[in-house]
Structure 1
Amino acid sequence: MLDQATAGAPRQTGPDDLARDGVVGVTIVWADNNGIPRSRTVPTAQYAAAVERGVGVTPLFAVFDSHDGITFEHAPLGTPSGDIRLMPAGDRPVRLAGQPGFAWVPGRQVAADGSPWPYDQRTVLERQVARAAELGLGFLAGYEIEFHLSHAGDDGDDPRPVYAGPSYGPAKLLAVDAFAAQLLRDLDRNGVPVGQFHGEYGPGQFEFAIAPADPVTAADRQLLARQTVHAAARAHGLRASFAPLVAPGQIGNGWHLHTSVLRAGTNLLSGGDGPGGLTAAGAAYVAGLLRDLPAIVAVTAPSLSSLQRLRPGHWCGAYACWGVENREAALRLVPATPLLGPGHANVELKPSDAAANPYLALAAVIAAGLAGLADGLTLPAPVQEDPASWSSERRASHGVHRLPTSVDEQLAALLGNPRVRSALGEELTGAFRAVRLSDAARAAGRDAAEVIRSYRWLY
């Protein structure tokens, strides 16, 4: 991850400018507890009123499961009564390059009287960022986004990828040349700065990396990026899926989350005597992530499809360990180098995917890292091999264990972790738990392939 980049200026304009440019509606977007974007669109002429008073939505979006089922198992949201307001959270809307009739802005959910609402995911992240600032700390975050492309209308049991030849080569991009050109152009015009784009390992799989930014901006850009991909794919007769697994037996899609922690503008993950150049404070940050990793991953890879993606030997971080440039470690330290400079150092969380709400994912990571710093944690030695190749005895002796493999195990890790649970808040944690149990009940009796397919087009 490079130093913080300045985005190509998004086409941000006021309502009058939008109307003159032919924009007919502004879409206000947030992400639910399944990582699924939800939205309301207001006519451009009504946008100023929406900024002032918001748009009415049901509070039950907090207990929508992945397949739009509404669970009433979280008592505070146990009836269909009530209303909240969805407020535009950005200063100005972004005119969408791939959807010229519409503009886009992130949203924040507030109570009907305008007061804070405990289930608003964006507020959860803002709270952690504010905590860090009080301690003199700042964060940069960036995403690597993987997705699968197939031809529109190819909705069979397992859609055919657009290209199944050698990975990482120019021929793979040539197969989607016009789409790739529009995607890079649209991301730039929408203000999503991209470091690189390539054909990934899996059939029909591609990846791009979003340049780092402050955590809230990074989460906003993640939502805007997926909208941009879907629009570009549609324009070229393609269909994109960010689902953790698109088809049984294939490589999954990760949304690897990179973070770095700074004090007075100095990156704490470089310039020290520890492994990979870690300072003592940087090591404490990584140790905090490692200590709370099962609870973090319950938030960053929460779906049933996520659980199937987290397989040993697939570079997705199935074991709780850290390593320096070890792509099988759940936490991969990317150290600074003389070529890239100290600002490049970051830690990558590999068990992270599109089923994660980006605001909650970053809030969980920051909370765990801040606790590691506060407690002065130390790191064990890095793991530089594939822990799946070790015996169970060797893993145990190094404190390496498999991350949760079931919904029950994930929820036990989350509910039993006071740091991550406190960061989310009791109300939101309760809603999150209810949604996960609803998903599990829906999938009961289905085989693995059916579950994978049921998530394919949700993301």
Structure 2
Amino acid sequence: MSKAASAAAKDLALAGVRGVHLAWADNNGIPRSRIVPIGGLADAAARGVGATALFAVFDTHDRITYRHPGLSTPSGDIRLFPVLERLRRLAGQPSFAWAPARQVAADGSPWPYCQRGVLERVVAEAEVRGFELRAGFELEFAVAPAASSDIASAPGHTGPAYSPHALVGIDDFVAGLLHDFDVNGLRIGQLHAEYGLAQLELSLAATDPVSAADDQLLARQTIHAAAHAHGLRASFAPLVSPQAAGNGWHLHSSVRRRARNLLAGRDRPGPDGAAYVAGLLRDLPALTAVTAPSVVSTARLRPGYFASAFTFWGTENREAPLRYVPGTELLGDDHANVEYKPCDASANPYLALAVVFAAGLAGIEEGLEPPAPVAEDPGTWSSGQREARGVRRLPASPEEQAAALAACPRVSGVLGEDLLGAFQAVRGSDAEWADGKPLHELVGAHLWRY
């Protein structure tokens, strides 16, 4: 490993790279990093880089909570190890390279708070059971001039949504972004002006789950750098204005066994694919506690905003939290997947993928059967109609999310006792900070965090 790191460092140094970001995401979905001088990369690959153990209990506002017994003092250190297979020179920051980091205990043993390790375990367990997992993120974000303090008063583009001329004023940024994504090794399917305020969306190509989470972190870095280079700043926050549609980071997933996509189907998937959907639907309230965990996330999940407010699934229904995307004669069975919509940038991408796959695979193992798909928007139904169809409101507050997570060991158990305790402590700290504050203040405080 040190030989590979030394060779990579030599090549990067010749190209003008001065440092390497070792990046990970915390329990608030916020990217963190240590920069290693390029001459120290080989040593970092061999022995790691020191960091405080307390990053696991940082809340969204960089407050440290000591409520979790496992991390209740300021003492303790961990080591960060670069994943050299994902080492990239950053096109938009050519003096720097980037690599995702594994978090390891100071003695080199596994660190139970490493979110990447949780996803690696879920993927490995799925492989033992004969499953191949695929995933990809859609990223929504808003842009504003670099000097702007918010999006609403100075939107980076004014629409119309989905229009080619909406982006004419930021053409250089879009072109630069496409260039940087290509050079950074990130494949995207498309990019367009989205429905929300000053919003854009791009879709990352599907890959294995760990790479999908790595890609999501690298995409954030790439977007931020491209925006800065063109006089803009990007917000990935779940809400950029109390009145506007928010930013969702929709998670597309599929499961294969013996090279066959279990989600394949036209109007609905076959038995195993349907069971996967049923597993997700069963645990959906608890899943949102991990996939949309910030205090503004539940405010985004409201009826009528294509944001998913109720527990149901549907075929190509864009109000559904679980949108089944079928295969077609044109695209083939490999295209079939489930779009999980109540996910945003405040989710740690490794944990989001881990719990989603764990819930769906549990459905397959138990042979669950989902209810009939819904084609309408249940937000337009009466409460009686929703009750008759078994459609419930998703958790509408951090307290409701916490209760749903505590009541669902299938989801909470994925994190493990130590990481779950830290995660819950951080959520409690965020809720305490937010108590009594109006929504506009909460939105402003989260706007540039991710």
TM-score, normalised to structure 1's length?
0.95
User: In the alignment, what sits opposite 2:440?
Assistant: 449
RMSD: 1.2
1:154 aligns with 2:148: yes
User: In the alignment, what sits opposite 1:366?
Assistant: 357
Whether contact under 8 Å (1:14, 1:92) holds in the other structure is: no
Whether contact under 8 Å (2:51, 2:79) holds in the other structure is: yes
Query: Structure 2: how far apart are the matches of 1:130 and 1:276?
Result: 31
Paired residue for 2:369, among 358, 361, 378? 378
Helix, strand or coil at the partner of 2:102: strand
Helix, strand or coil at the partner of 2:133: strand
Query: Structure 1: how far apart are the matches of 2:427 and 2:173?
Result: 35
Helix, strand or coil at the partner of 1:175: helix
Query: Structure 2: how far apart are the matches of 1:388 and 1:92?
Result: 43
Whether contact under 8 Å (2:150, 2:447) holds in the other structure is: no
Paired residue for 2:30, among 36, 49, 52? 36
Whether contact under 8 Å (2:142, 2:151) holds in the other structure is: no
Paired residue for 2:173, among 176, 179, 184? 179
Paired residue for 1:124, among 108, 118, 142? 118
Query: Structure 2: how far apart are the matches of 1:237 and 1:375?
Result: 52
Which letter maps to 2:17?
V
Between 209-218 and 439-448, the greater mean CA deviation after superposition: 439-448
1:316 aligns with 2:316: no
Whether contact under 8 Å (2:146, 2:231) holds in the other structure is: yes
Unaligned runs of 5+ in 2: 1-6
Which letter maps to 1:106?
P
1:458 aligns with 2:449: yes
Helix, strand or coil at the partner of 2:240: coil
Whether contact under 8 Å (1:313, 1:388) holds in the other structure is: yes
Query: Structure 1: how far apart are the matches of 2:225 and 2:340?
Result: 28
1:57 Cα deviation (Å)?
A: 0.5
1:330 aligns with 2:301: no
1:396 Cα deviation (Å)?
A: 0.9
1:54-453 matched pairs, under 5 angstroms: 54-155=48-149, 158-271=152-265, 276-453=267-444
Whether contact under 8 Å (1:182, 1:232) holds in the other structure is: yes
Which letter maps to 2:385?
R
Query: Structure 1: how far apart are the matches of 2:39 and 2:193?
Result: 41
Query: Structure 1: how far apart are the matches of 2:152 and 2:200?
Result: 17
Query: Structure 1: how far apart are the matches of 2:21 and 2:204?
Result: 22
Distance 1:383 1:94, change over 3 A: same
Distance 1:173 1:157, change over 3 A: closer
Distance 1:61 1:159, change over 3 A: farther
1:159 Cα deviation (Å)?
A: 3.8
Query: Structure 2: how far apart are the matches of 1:285 and 1:256?
Result: 17
**Number of residues of Structure 1 aligned to a counterpart in Structure 2:** 445
Helix, strand or coil at the partner of 2:189: strand
1:281 Cα deviation (Å)?
A: 0.5
Whether contact under 8 Å (1:150, 1:160) holds in the other structure is: yes
Query: Structure 1: how far apart are the matches of 2:435 and 2:446?
Result: 15
Which letter maps to 1:381?
A
Which letter maps to 1:413?
A
1:203 Cα deviation (Å)?
A: 2.5
Helix, strand or coil at the partner of 2:321: strand
Unaligned runs of 5+ in 1: 1-12
Query: Structure 1: how far apart are the matches of 2:288 and 2:151?
Result: 29
CA deviations on 1:118-171 (whole Å, 9 max, x unpaired) are: 100000000100110011001110111000000011115844112213110111
Helix, strand or coil at the partner of 2:250: strand
Whether contact under 8 Å (1:260, 1:345) holds in the other structure is: yes
Helix, strand or coil at the partner of 1:209: strand
TM-score, normalised to structure 2's length?
0.97
Query: Structure 2: how far apart are the matches of 1:152 and 1:377?
Result: 49
Whether contact under 8 Å (1:243, 1:456) holds in the other structure is: yes
Identity of aligned residues (%): 60
CA deviations on 1:267-323 (whole Å, 9 max, x unpaired) are: 00114xxx7241100001110000010111110000011111111010011101100
Query: Structure 2: how far apart are the matches of 1:18 and 1:121?
Result: 28
Query: Structure 1: how far apart are the matches of 2:86 and 2:247?
Result: 31
Which letter maps to 1:174?
V
CA deviations on 1:403-426 (whole Å, 9 max, x unpaired) are: 001111101111111111111111
1:397 Cα deviation (Å)?
A: 1.2
Helix, strand or coil at the partner of 2:135: strand
Distance 1:67 1:123, change over 3 A: same
1:26 aligns with 2:20: yes
Distance 1:124 1:92, change over 3 A: closer
1:92 Cα deviation (Å)?
A: 5.0
1:91 Cα deviation (Å)?
A: 2.1
Which letter maps to 1:355?
S
Whether contact under 8 Å (1:58, 1:83) holds in the other structure is: yes
Whether contact under 8 Å (2:137, 2:250) holds in the other structure is: yes
User: In the alignment, what sits opposite 1:49?
Assistant: 43
CA deviations on 1:244-276 (whole Å, 9 max, x unpaired) are: 0011201100000000010011100114xxx72
